[in-house]
A and B are shown apart, each in its own frame.
Chain A
């Protein structure tokens, strides 16, 4: 019988996938040289005024709708003050008084079955910059590229009770937000980050224990380790009556496998929130609300059910596809084009994935259009293009936006019905290789395959294999 239970609430920061930053027009793209995506506003210079990026609000609302939140029809921005070198204005513009979304739920699945996790609120805010520590000069170097990139912070209620649930919750958030194209949610790039608020109490107690907040975990496995470590530390402190258990912010060191109290935030003091006078309230009217509502994707599990029940995919194939919104979109478009769901799924899951892996690209970056893929699959299925040549065309589609039929024609990849030509080629191949012919006649089936391969190569693959086989046998048997 377990003596203690863990109570966990999460604050998840997600960078929204916009082109530009939330209050200025600098690029919000990941990467770039240090301080390349900056302007006077991003480096705290006076005189620029914030103008809200509409798409950021779109995505904030989208996130809220995906998590069953109530959308505040009047949402406002506020300023939060503290000094830190990665915060160029010494204030962060965030939402304190009227966040864009409140009161949502996310249903997670674990070995114990489904569980609803309540969302307290989702607010929009600007990201801070990045500090790099230079060992040689013993200084910190400041990069403002990420400054003002739009974020949402998803604040859960303390409804989670284990590392397993936390992982299920984060995976569910990631899946939903990626599906709705709110964010790539890439923890390794910092576009999804998580602070864990954790306390421990005796089973049956209704009073919450002392709460600590842990930061700096950049993978799911690190989060699991951190929760396990911190839970054990809390229990140790409770049992030994140690005074080391205090409400504080701690930093997780994944290499050492330990959490440490953070010193800097102690002095941060009062954040002194107040409404930003330079940003007018955002009023979300019915038209705006309905437009976002209409743009929401089907939930992944709804898609899966449809793929299996209506389109006849296997559970496995459907599971593969719903890993990514891009895959699903491409699948649906291609199926609409050619009507061959199973083949489309095969091409996507095996051939396209192979090319993506080779190119070290993520599925989210799938560069081919579903329409073109559908056309290609139809060409192969209709016997107009050989399957090996089909793959060649697919590879070309990853390089540039081409029409498969035009490309096949221009590159001589169309199967020919010219039997005279096939007969001439077969005749020449048979004449040039009497040994294989002899071998075949003496019962070696393999010799026929060699001849067949030679013919196909001569014909550049543009021949129906059935036709070729018939002609070859006719020629050999005289």
Chain B
């Protein structure tokens, strides 16, 4: 089980970086044979800010190939699993073992949220545009964000504060003047239909968190929002399309893996990509290309962009009555090597729980094995709840 692809410095306040966040001293692989040993000439803005704030880069945490899978199982460097076959996510396992105090993780298709929920840890996926994506390996730029995992909500908050803020090198970075003051959380909507799709153990987690919230005087109400489950299908399509385009740069010409067997340019391209990319990635590339094809663009890609607005408006509507929503982060409480062998595209199903926040760029917080999603800039209020849960909820 390879938790760190490359070990960084020792010392206090070590933070692990998902291996899609570029560093100058350590290679960045995106969990792919294509980028095995690839060293960037510049580092991610979040890495720079982290070190400026006194943290050390503890190393690069193993991730699934381009971070689109369930729990890192598609990594070229191998899946991380316990002896009984339970899948773990490398960054969360490093936290569990106390090797690092926090981890910066790329949230492309919800893997860090899922993993934190399963590990009983905390994770904050910040509002899109508040943490720079400069220097992160691009996968699905319209919705992916750098988030923070830790064993306490307080650490999540501190590390997030160190890396967040406007960055002129990221054209989607929000000017600080746009940030709004979040409201305290007093009323929570539980997404009943999505919760019902999870198994009994997971539903019990939601119920337990509801009980905690109510014990703190926070009102909870069950709501059913039909379009929320459409977020999954739409985000899978948007993500695959952007992924297809973003990984088309890896072609064996400029850097990275090049096949030894070629006589012309097409053999060089096809050989390099076919040999260096894993099966799940290939499938998602082809799916993304299919979605963008002239014949499908309107009914698949354009439709998904419109669904994105439908979902965003449904959230906006909910937030006129509630301060955030509560839902599971995954369908069950344990995933095994066998599960992903049986269905290698399991992550696409699990997106039911994570896609609503991914497709809208809304902030999400994982605590107590469940997920809170709030309006833009509400992560600190949600972290307040998470922190309170950490002290009193268990």
Contact = CB atoms under 8 A, between A and B. Distances in A.
The reply to whether chain A is a binding partner of chain B is: yes
Interface of A: 40, 43-52, 79, 81, 83, 85, 88-91, 140, 142, 267, 270, 272-275, 277-280
A45 B40 contact: yes
A78 B320 CA distance: 34
17 contacts: A40-B41, A46-B138, A47-B136, A52-B171, A81-B248, A83-B248, A83-B251, A89-B248, A142-B253, A267-B266, A272-B241, A272-B289, A272-B292, A273-B292, A277-B172, A277-B242, A280-B172
Contacts of B171: 49-52, 278-280
A52 B294 CA distance: 27
Q: Is the interface of B mostly helix, strand, loop or mixed?
A: loop
Contact of A49 (B30, B170, B289): B170
Given A88-B249, A91-B248, A274-B292, A40 B137 contact: no
Interface of B: 22, 30, 40-42, 44, 133-138, 141-142, 168-172, 241-242, 244-246, 248-249, 251, 253-255, 265-266, 269, 289, 292-294, 297, 301, 305
B294 A270 contact: yes
Contacts of B255: 43, 45
B133 A49 contact: yes
Contacts of B134: 47-49
A471 B41 CA distance: 78
Nearest to B44: A47
A91 B245 contact: yes
B292 A83 contact: no
Chain A contact residues, majority secondary structure: loop
A49 B142 contact: no
A316 B136 CA distance: 61
Nearest to A90: B248
Nearest to A275: B305
B258 to A, nearest CB: 12
Nearest to B253: A85
Nearest to B305: A275
Contacts of A88: 249, 253-254
A143 to B, nearest CB: 12
B249 A44 contact: yes
Contacts of B294: 270, 272
Given A48-B42, A270-B293, 10 more contacts: A40-B42, A47-B22, A51-B169, A81-B244, A81-B292, A85-B253, A89-B249, A142-B253, A272-B293, A273-B292
B249 A90 contact: yes
B265 A85 contact: yes
A47 B248 contact: no
A95 B350 CA distance: 35
9 A-B pairs with least C-beta separation: A277-B142, A90-B248, A272-B292, A44-B249, A89-B249, A277-B141, A46-B137, A47-B135, A47-B22
Contacts of A280: 171-172
Contact of B42 (A43, A47, A270): A47
B137 A47 contact: yes
Contacts of A85: 253, 265
Contacts of B242: 277
Given A40-B42, A47-B134, A91-B248, A274 B169 contact: no
Contacts of B292: 81, 270, 272-274
A83 B269 contact: yes
Contacts of B42: 40, 47-48
B254 A278 contact: no
Contact of A274 (B245, B251, B253): B245
Nearest to A44: B249
Nearest to A50: B171
Contacts of B253: 44, 85, 88, 142
A272 B240 CA distance: 13
A274 B301 contact: yes
B134 to A, nearest CB: 6
Nearest to B268: A85
Nearest to B167: A49
B332 to A, nearest CB: 32
Contacts of A91: 245, 248-249
Contacts of B133: 49
Given A88-B249, A277-B142, A44 B137 contact: no
B254 A45 contact: yes
A278 B172 contact: yes
